[in-house]
């Protein structure tokens, strides 16, 4: 991940998940759902095939995690970073520190996906608390490793990674709270907003450090550059809110249009037929004198 490509791949995968949750939260708010993701039916009522037993989100967690873990260890082709200790050196130093931090980081997201699969496919009823706890653990590990990741780095790398830790920490905090309080829409919105900020900032982080548009590398020794890093992060906070609001608006339009399609036929107002020879006006005229006489 210590390259432009590594950061872009990870950022795009996070962004896909964040956009998915933006749509999920938007429809949950529009429909007035109590839970963001309703629990699955009991296992014996979901069918026998694996795609009927396991949610797509669990599979996506596993697949996305493997997509970023395998290149860390084996890319470019012929590379093998599975070694943790240099046994040829008499001092036996650790090697590939950043690689193992990244593998550990995404390994816990892989673990979260495996927990989801076990909870959904191997138990009679889905254990949603366990799934939320595993996901919260993954983000907690992400924050802990980021704290260590900024050690012995340049001022620029330390600043961008420290700012990255802010949305990651808030997502972890929300997930921890949701283990016990999962039915709070305000937490859904905060988690999704921070997920968008996290993914967008990771995308910007890679471009800023490895391929600045100006062609000139940013300098950690320049206080102006560091100040603009923080300014850009604040812009990403606003951008995340705008993206979430835009997705909510689109989902609202779709929701209301789809709801109108589902209306029962004849529910709309229909004018009374008043053409000559129609039976309805004649019945009304015939009954009118009786009504007048009874008053």
Give percent of the chain above pLDDT 90: 43
pLDDT range class, residue 283, cuts 50, 70, 90: low
Q: Which residues face 85 on adjacent strands?
A: 94
pLDDT at 149: 79
Q: Are 239 and 271 in contact (CB under 8 A)?
A: no
Cis peptide before 149 (omega within 30 of 0): no
The model's pLDDT over 198-213, given as tens digits with 9 standing for 90+, comes to 999 999 988 888 888 8
Any idea which residue has 């690689």 for tokens?
A: 99
- Beta bridge partners of residue 94, listed in sequence order: 85
260 has a pLDDT exceeding 60: no
Is the Cβ–Cβ distance between 61 and 108 less than 8 Å? no
Q: What percent of the chain has pLDDT over 70?
A: 85
Assess contact for 192 and 22: CB atoms under 8 A.
Answer: yes
pLDDT of residue 163: 93
Flag whether the pTM goes above 0.85.
no
| pLDDT band of 265, cuts 50, 70, 90 | very low
Is residue 4's pLDDT more than 90?
no
What pLDDT, in 10s, does the model give residues 136-189?
A: 999 999 999 988 878 777 888 888 989 999 999 999 999 999 999 988 999 999
How far apart CA 224 and CA 155 sit, in angstroms, is 12
Are 109 and 61 in contact by the 8 Å Cβ rule? The answer is yes
* Residue 77 · residue 103 · CB < 8 Å: no
Q: How confident is the model at residue 50 (pLDDT cuts 50, 70, 90)?
A: low
* Rounded CA separation 109/105 (Å): 7
Q: Is pLDDT above 80 for 215?
A: no
Return the pLDDT at 136. 95
């Amino acid at each position: 991940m210590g390259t432009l490509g590594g950061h872009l791949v990870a950022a795009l995968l996070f962004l896909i998940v964040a956009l998915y949750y933006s749509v999920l939260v938007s429809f949950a708010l529009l429909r007035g759902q109590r839970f963001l993701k309703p629990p699955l039916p009991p296992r014996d009522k979901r069918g026998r095939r694996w795609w009927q037993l396991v949610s797509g989100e669990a599979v996506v967690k596993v697949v996305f995690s493997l997509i970023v873990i395998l290149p860390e260890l084996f890319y470019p082709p012929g590379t093998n970073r599975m070694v943790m200790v240099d046994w040829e050196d008499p001092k036996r130093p650790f090697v590939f520190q950043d690689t193992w931090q990244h593998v550990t980081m995404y390994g816990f997201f892989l673990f979260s996906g495996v927990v989801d699969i076990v909870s959904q496919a191997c138990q009679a009823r889905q254990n949603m608390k366990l799934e939320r706890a595993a996901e919260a653990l993954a983000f907690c590990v992400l924050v802990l490793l980021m704290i260590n990741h900024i050690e012995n780095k340049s001022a620029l790398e330390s600043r961008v990674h420290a700012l990255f830790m802010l949305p990651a920490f808030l997502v972890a905090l929300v997930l921890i709270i949701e283990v016990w309080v999962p039915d709070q829409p305000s937490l859904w919105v905060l988690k999704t907003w921070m997920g968008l900020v996290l993914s967008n900032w990771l995308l910007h982080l890679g471009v800023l450090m490895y391929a600045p548009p100006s062609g000139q590398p940013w300098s950690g020794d320049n206080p102006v550059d560091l100040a603009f890093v923080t300014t850009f992060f604040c812009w990403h906070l606003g951008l995340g809110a705008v993206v979430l609001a835009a997705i909510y608006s689109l989902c609202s339009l779709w929701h209301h249009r789809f709801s109108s399609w589902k209306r029962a036929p004849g529910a709309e107002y229909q004018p009374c037929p008043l053409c000559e020879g129609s039976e309805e006006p004649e019945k009304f005229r015939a009954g009118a004198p009786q009504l007048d006489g009874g008053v």
